[in-house]
């Protein structure tokens, strides 16, 4: 066993941007990306879970309830119980705010906007295209608290966030540390 205890994974969901990015990737690399059946994904996921278990790693899947079973547990990409465990073991109020079907994520605030990551993953649903994301990354305002926006926009959002009860609960946790 090592430092890793959990592995969070999912299979690609073909959102509109993903379909477009896949088509460009297939054309650029002269290959065909195909979608596997649910049965194949379940079999593969369970095989990966067996391998992970040999190393003391537990597998979790978010928005993939068809994969959840003895070997794979339901995950939440933003998991209030883990945040509580790490930062506020005496208790932390959080509420779930799912973003899509089968999601159990905790309410959160994004730190960025679409089209800001320069890594160009073909399966990414957050980027329209590599050039747009690259430009946004190059033009990032290092004084902004958020990706893809100016400091003025960032300051406005921070003011809006500070005016919510949610942030005051988070600030209380950090002030206790």
Q: Are 73 and 91 in contact (CB under 8 A)?
A: no
Predicted confidence (pLDDT) per residue in 4-36, tens digit = 999 999 999 888 889 998 999 999 999 999 999
User: Residue 171 — very low, low, confident or very high, per pLDDT cuts 50/70/90?
Assistant: low
Predicted confidence (pLDDT) per residue in 28-57, tens digit = 999 999 999 999 999 999 999 999 999 999
The structure's pTM equals: 0.74
Q: For residues 23 and 16, what is the distance between their CA atoms, to the nearest angstrom?
A: 11
Domain boundaries, the chain: 1-75, 77-108
Q: Six-digit token pair at 63?
A: 């928005």
pLDDT at 167 over 80: no
User: Residue 172 — very low, low, confident or very high, per pLDDT cuts 50/70/90?
Assistant: low
For residue 78, give the nearest of 90, 67, 86 by alpha carbon: 86
Q: For residues 70 and 46, what is the distance between their CA atoms, to the nearest angstrom?
A: 9
């Amino acid at each position: 066993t090592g430092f890793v205890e959990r592995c969070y994974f999912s299979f690609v969901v073909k959102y509109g941007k993903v379909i477009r990015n896949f088509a460009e990737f297939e054309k650029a690399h002269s290959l065909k990306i195909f979608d596997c059946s649910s049965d194949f994904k379940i079999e593969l996921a369970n095989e990966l879970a067996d391998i992970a278990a040999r190393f003391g790693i537990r597998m979790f899947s978010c928005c993939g309830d068809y994969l959840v079973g003895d070997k794979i547990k339901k995950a939440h990409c933003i998991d209030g119980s883990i945040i509580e465990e790490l930062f506020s073991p005496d208790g932390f109020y959080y509420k779930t705010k799912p973003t899509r079907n089968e999601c159990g994520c905790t309410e959160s605030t994004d730190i960025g906007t679409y089209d800001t990551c320069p890594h160009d993953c073909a399966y990414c649903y957050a980027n329209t295209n590599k050039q747009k994301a690259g430009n946004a990354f190059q033009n990032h305002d290092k004084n902004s608290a958020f990706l893809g926006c100016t400091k003025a926009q960032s300051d406005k959002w921070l003011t809006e966030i500070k005016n919510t009860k949610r942030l005051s609960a988070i600030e209380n946790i950090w002030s206790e540390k």
